Amino acid sequence: MDWETLARELAVPGDAKIVLVVLDGLGGLPVGGRTELEAARKPNLDALAARGACGLTTPVWPGITPGSGPAHLSLFGYDPLRYQLGRGILEALGSGVEVGPQDLVARGNFATLKAGLIGDRRAGRLATETNARLCRAINAALPVREGVETRLYPGKEHRFVARFRGEGLSDRLSDADPQKEGKPRLPAAPLAPEAERSAAVVNGYMDAVTALLKDEPVANTILIRGFSGLPSLPSMPELYKIRPAAVANYPMYKGLARLLGMTVVDAGSETSSLFEALEKHYKDFDFFYVHYKKTDAAGEDGNFDAKVAAIEEVDAFLPRLTALGPEVLVVTADHSTPSVLKGHSWHPNPFCLVSRFALPDDVARFSERDFGRGLLGSFPALQAMPLMLAAGLKLKKFGA
Amino acid sequence: MDWETLARELAVPGDAKIVLVVLDGLGGLPVGGRTELEAARKPNLDALAARGACGLTTPVWPGITPGSGPAHLSLFGYDPLRYQLGRGILEALGSGVEVGPQDLVARGNFATLKAGLIGDRRAGRLATETNARLCRAINAALPVREGVETRLYPGKEHRFVARFRGEGLSDRLSDADPQKEGKPRLPAAPLAPEAERSAAVVNGYMDAVTALLKDEPVANTILIRGFSGLPSLPSMPELYKIRPAAVANYPMYKGLARLLGMTVVDAGSETSSLFEALEKHYKDFDFFYVHYKKTDAAGEDGNFDAKVAAIEEVDAFLPRLTALGPEVLVVTADHSTPSVLKGHSWHPNPFCLVSRFALPDDVARFSERDFGRGLLGSFPALQAMPLMLAAGLKLKKFGA
């Protein structure tokens, strides 16, 4: 029996409010002896650490660097090794593209083809309006292929979501993207026999789009990657008997939240707007996933100081959150993004649980090393959801 | 491979004595900053902590609050998710009711039926002697139903154990108890097709009992819940090559111990009598499970001070235990029962292992928070038995 089975059996509705704040990519590594968290002035995070039970979570497996999908799934109580999501489905849902059970979706770029080689994978980051115009033209000219409805949904600059809708499509396809410049176009390859027709449809479509765009000066081909169908996941309301809301302002996190049955509330692009949205919708839900992206973005840029600043920025807003008085408050991360690594890493995440029913430890600073001495110890992120639900008294007793 | 398989392969008989003291529901939560353990004066427990290796155990799963059955099973090395016991079987065995492979047992109450609704689920907590008289009358009038032997075993006040003995009975039955007052009687429903006949027998019997009791002023119907057959568990002597004894004075714990192949030695109702029984039988066995209930009972009552007093009471007896000089001494709990929660909880249990072959740490106070810094760390309670057997040199090397 696993957590999912236990949750179905034991979860009960309850009034307590649970707020889960994910500071994306929070954990780091030292520069000059201090990590980003250790270098930041963050009195409110430190105060939470002093009040709460602290520990470190491992997103997927020790030493394994997770993508955003598995890192978040784990935090929401879904085994990331069991539920593997394509990037395409997250992007599609986050862009507001409707995805059904017959659909195959993927992320795409407009790109520049020059003398048979990909010269610029982003077509000079073409104007978003040009992107929209090209997608309209392509959708008008190429609406269906071999009985499969084909459609591009423009995003920002060079990005789009491609959707293929028809019977018998499979997402067992390799990327139709050489990933590097100076290489020729690359067709999607079937990774299983049942994906052969899908590969033919996708590759034929991409050839037709390239032919259609031949006179465009910059955006004269497309690259597509991260093919995925609609995954079948149990929803959080179904599993946990909660009414969950997502307060996020990046497409992928909104998309993931929708996939798990959360209601995505409108949050603008400012940090303040996350907290305003939380306040505005606080009475309507009993579980809130609040996603803050800047910590990860600064880490990805390799910008230690910007990551410190991002930590300090969000810290200043925390009193607005604690003023709401949630019965359970967790501040943690999905994965680490040390600026020295300029990307996600495998390091465990600081995890702080504040609740009347969580035993506080003597940790008083919010950092990777302090949390290593916390009472919650080191534990799989998959155990975060049970701990949060328990502290909200939303789990019945197991057995007699 | 799991622990059970390893145990079968590696356990060897040995002379060392292992004493496992379970202070039921020991762990708590702070009131005024201190948990029950932190508030108690308990020099002997603290001395054990100073001599031993300390840690925290998780009974079933983080965040999961266990019943007494799964919490104890885990401590005895039985995966509680694999072996799920009904309350009925524990109650029956603890009440000294003989249970065989053809039996279906359950817990029951005498109750008051008024104008077709359950007015009092406990029939005014009728006198134990009245209970015994009614059970005798019912057993005499209704000995058999559709070839199934039916029998009630009186307990204290309104409680009894019901036993149905016959071929082809199944325990896949819902409770024949509405659980709330002001509701009508509720028949048992079959949860699987093979339980249809059992449901018919049980419901017919309950109707007949209710008809028989129609002139009783208070106890004029019965409620039955927690149906269970005899579970099939490997015994501790078989798995671990030990001669185990249980020193306990509450029915459920004695019942569980019998189910696992322990010999239940007679222990009176006083705390002192637990230690007397241990001393008396110390030469006859090599594994002793000593169960102390008062800590849990006080926690269930929400009585912080009574729980502190219960800790102090048992602390005073520990020198008698250490004087016996067991090669392995463990003091721990099955689950936590914080008085602020007035019930079982999900919080981990303090676990202290004293043995010549356990590496002592620098923990010198017996408490939840101190044990969080112990050398054993946080670990599943299912790993307690391997650690105890190992310290008793009762496990062979694995592999060459």
Domain boundaries, chain B: 3-85+232-391, 97-229
**What confidence category does residue A301 fall into, taking pLDDT thresholds of 50, 70 and 90?**
very high
* The predicted structure's pLDDT at residue B84: 87
| B107 touching chain A per CB within 8 A | no
Please tell me which residue of chain A has the smallest CA distance to B374: A375
* The predicted structure's pLDDT at residue B251: 81
* The predicted structure's pLDDT at residue B107: 93
| A385 touching chain B per CB within 8 A | yes
Q: What sections of chain A are H helices per DSSP?
A: 3-10, 36-39, 43-51, 68-75, 87-94, 128-141, 196-212, 236-240, 251-259, 271-281, 294-300, 304-322, 368-371, 384-391
pLDDT at A264 over 80: yes
- 8 A C-beta contact, residue A390 and residue A399: no
Q: Considering Cα of A302, then A305, then A308, then A310, what sign does the dihedral take? A: negative
* Selected residues 361-380 of chain A with any CB under 8 Å from a CB in chain B: 361-362, 373, 375-377, 379
> What does the pLDDT average to over A80-89?
88
For residue A183 the two structure tokens come to 């290489």
* The predicted structure's pLDDT at residue A220: 97
* The predicted structure's pLDDT at residue B255: 86
Q: Which residues in chain B are closer than 8 Å to A386, comparing Cβ atoms?
A: 61-64, 346
pLDDT at A382 over 90: yes
- The residue of B56, B61, B177, B351 whose CB has the most chain A CBs within 10 angstroms, and thus the best one to mutate to test that interface, is B61
- CA of B101 to nearest chain A CA: how many angstroms apart? 21
pLDDT at A88 over 90: no
What ipTM was estimated for this complex? 0.87
Mean pLDDT of chain A, nearest integer: 96
* Selected residues 341-360 of chain A with any CB under 8 Å from a CB in chain B: 356-357, 359-360
Torsion of CA A344, A349, A355, A361, to 10 degrees: -160
pLDDT at A8 over 90: yes
**A-to-B residue pairs, Cβ atoms closer than 8 angstroms:** 87
* The predicted structure's pLDDT at residue A93: 80
| A10 touching chain B per CB within 8 A | yes
- CA of B139 to nearest chain A CA: how many angstroms apart? 28
- CA of A195 to nearest chain B CA: how many angstroms apart? 37
Cα–Cα distance measured from residue B244 to residue B285, given in angstroms and rounded to the nearest whole number: 6
* The predicted structure's pLDDT at residue B31: 97
- 8 A C-beta contact, residue A324 and residue A279: yes
Q: How many CB atoms lie within 10 A of CB A141?
A: 11
Q: Which residues of chain B have pLDDT under 70?
A: none
> What does the pLDDT average to over A294-323?
97
- CA of A100 to nearest chain B CA: how many angstroms apart? 35
* The predicted structure's pLDDT at residue A250: 86
What beta strand segments (E) does chain B contain?
A: 18-23, 53-58, 103-114, 117-120, 144-145, 148-154, 159-165, 221-229, 244-247, 263-265, 287-292, 328-332, 349-355, 377-380
C-beta atoms of A357 and B340 within 8 A: yes
C-beta atoms of A386 and B62 within 8 A: yes
* The predicted structure's pLDDT at residue A86: 79
Q: What sections of A95-232 are H helices per DSSP?
A: 128-141, 196-212
CATH of region A3-85+232-391: 3.40.720.10
* The predicted structure's pLDDT at residue A388: 98
Cα–Cα distance measured from residue A206 to residue A143, given in angstroms and rounded to the nearest whole number: 13
* The predicted structure's pLDDT at residue B104: 96
* The predicted structure's pLDDT at residue B86: 79
Q: How many CB atoms lie within 10 A of CB A48?
A: 23
C-beta atoms of A383 and B66 within 8 A: no
pLDDT per position as a tens digit, A174-215:
999 999 999 999 999 999 999 999 999 999 999 999 999 999
Q: Which residues in chain B are closer than 8 Å to A18, comparing Cβ atoms?
A: none
> What does the pLDDT average to over A230-245?
96
Q: Which residues in chain B are closer than 8 Å to A51, comparing Cβ atoms?
A: none
> What does the pLDDT average to over A47-65?
98
